């Protein structure tokens, strides 16, 4: 049986700041050597060359080492950064740590559990094709087992980080006589995320194994729990499975739903309800009563260029990429629900929720 989980959200005061993590450890809320995953938002451009992710990664790993965690252990911790805090979204990190057995709050109810795995190496020619789907699916199954989850219905959030294509990796593939799905490095972000989401959906039985032709084309194929990010930091799929398991104990529980479009506040509220908070029919931010730890969302501009029958110019805008526009929009909608701009809203949601919408996961403190 895996250990119970403590989960806390902290602000990031500057791109290289991890001081709030240090405070949690000093206060005894978390143990440095028990941190098992970190998921956060950094304030860069969210693109291929967003190096704020690397800066934040270094800052948080160095903070853990400085507080006594073994360096070799810290190197293995999955830390997933989503770049870009457009609009009101505020830089922050959500930190997951195991709880010493003597400190666990016992419960017979399902409570939060986390599992982690790394896939086989993803070659540049794999990205966007079925070999990537298979490698991701295999890693998801390993992470589920480590989380103590046997029923896919108990998985509510799968956060991944995968490689995208760069000029260097494209040249590497060509030098070996291989082809790549695209030579547009920014498009490869959407591609890597979407293909990864299909791997998650296959692992959880949400869809049958798709073909190469389905990737980025058949948007009816998606996962309702996938949250996929990509970057230049690694050449494997880094997979964090978050769900609920009976017997682990602890105070926290996770639930999920989907936003059907960019304005679907009900999708967010439904995820919070699914996590176990009782809410009135028409809830208000005050009904959360400090029990919401964080929400995690993916978003995407609808391919028809509309929201609720009204057209928008996001996909035609040559000045500001639609990634930034939809992220700012959904970030504002989410913050209006939670009352807190420190929300995890990530763009590029191909095959993650329905077209124009996206998955929502919510973690709550049930005390």
Active site residues: 161, 229
Helices (H), the chain: 19-27, 52-66, 71-75, 130-147, 167-175, 187-203, 265-275, 322-338
Bridge partners (DSSP) listed for residue 212: none
Strand (E) or helix (H) holding 126:
none
In 182-291, DSSP assigns E strands to: 226-231, 236-245, 252-259
Token output for 279? 């809410």
Dihedral (Cα; 203, 207, 210, 214), 10-degree rounding: -130
Write out the two tokens for 68. Answer: 């006594």
In sequence order, what are the beta bridge partners of 310?
307
DSSP 223: B
Reduce the DSSP state of residue 278 to 3 states and report it. coil
Cα 243 to the center of its chain, rounded Å: 13
Q: What is the C-alpha separation between 303 and 286, in angstroms, rounded?
A: 35
Please state the separation of Cα 134 from the chain's center in Å: 20
Task: Give the DSSP letter of residue 283.
Answer: -
Three-class secondary structure of residue 57 per DSSP: helix
Phi and psi for 335 in degrees, rounded to 5?
-65, -30
* CB-CB neighbours of 92 under 10 Å: 21
Which residues have a Cβ under 8 Å from the Cβ of 113 and sit 6 or more positions away? Answer: 2, 5, 147, 148, 149, 242, 243, 244, 245, 248
Contact between 153 and 144 under an 8 Å Cβ cutoff? The reply is: no
Token output for 274: 């699914």
Residues in Cβ contact with 48 at an 8 Å cutoff, skipping those fewer than 6 apart: 164, 166, 185, 186, 189, 231, 232
């Amino acid at each position: 049986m895996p250990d119970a989980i403590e989960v806390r959200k902290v602000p990031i005061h500057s791109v290289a700041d991890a001081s709030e993590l240090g405070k949690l450890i000093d206060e005894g809320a978390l143990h440095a050597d028990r941190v098992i995953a970190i998921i956060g938002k950094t304030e860069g451009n969210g693109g291929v060359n967003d190096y704020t992710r690397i800066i934040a990664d270094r800052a948080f790993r160095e903070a853990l080492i400085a507080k006594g965690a073994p360096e070799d252990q810290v190197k293995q911790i999955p830390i997933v950064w989503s770049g870009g805090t457009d609009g009101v979204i505020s830089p922050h990190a959500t930190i997951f740590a195991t709880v010493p057995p003597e400190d666990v709050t016992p419960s017979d109810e399902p409570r939060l559990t986390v599992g982690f795995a790394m896939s086989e190496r993803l070659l540049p020619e794999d990205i966007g094709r079925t070999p990537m789907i298979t490698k991701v699916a295999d890693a998801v199954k390993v992470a589920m087992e480590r989380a103590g989850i046997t029923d896919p219905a108990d998985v509510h959030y799968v956060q991944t980080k995968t490689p995208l294509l760069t000029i260097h990796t494209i040249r590497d593939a060509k030098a070996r006589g291989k082809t790549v799905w695209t030579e547009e490095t920014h498009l490869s972000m959407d591609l890597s995320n979407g293909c990864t989401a299909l791997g998650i959906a296959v692992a959880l039985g949400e869809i049958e194994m798709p073909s190469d032709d389905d990737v980025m084309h058949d948007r009816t194929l998606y996962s309702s729990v996938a949250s996929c990010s990509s970057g230049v930091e690694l050449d494997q799929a880094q997979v964090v499975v978050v769900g609920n398991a009976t017997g682990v104990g602890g105070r926290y529980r996770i639930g999920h739903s989907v936003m059907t479009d960019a304005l679907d506040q009900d999708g967010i509220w439904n995820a919070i309800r699914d996590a176990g908070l009782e809410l009135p029919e028409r809830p208000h931010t005050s009904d959360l009563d400090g029990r919401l730890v964080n929400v995690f969302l993916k978003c995407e501009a609808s391919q028809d260029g509309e929201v609720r029958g009204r057209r928008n110019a996001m996909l035609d805008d040559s000045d500001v990429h639609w990634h930034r526009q939809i992220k700012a929009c959904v970030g504002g909608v989410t913050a209006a629900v939670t009352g807190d701009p420190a929300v995890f809203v990530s763009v590029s949601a191909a095959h993650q929720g329905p077209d124009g919408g996206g998955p929502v996961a919510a973690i709550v403190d049930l005390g």
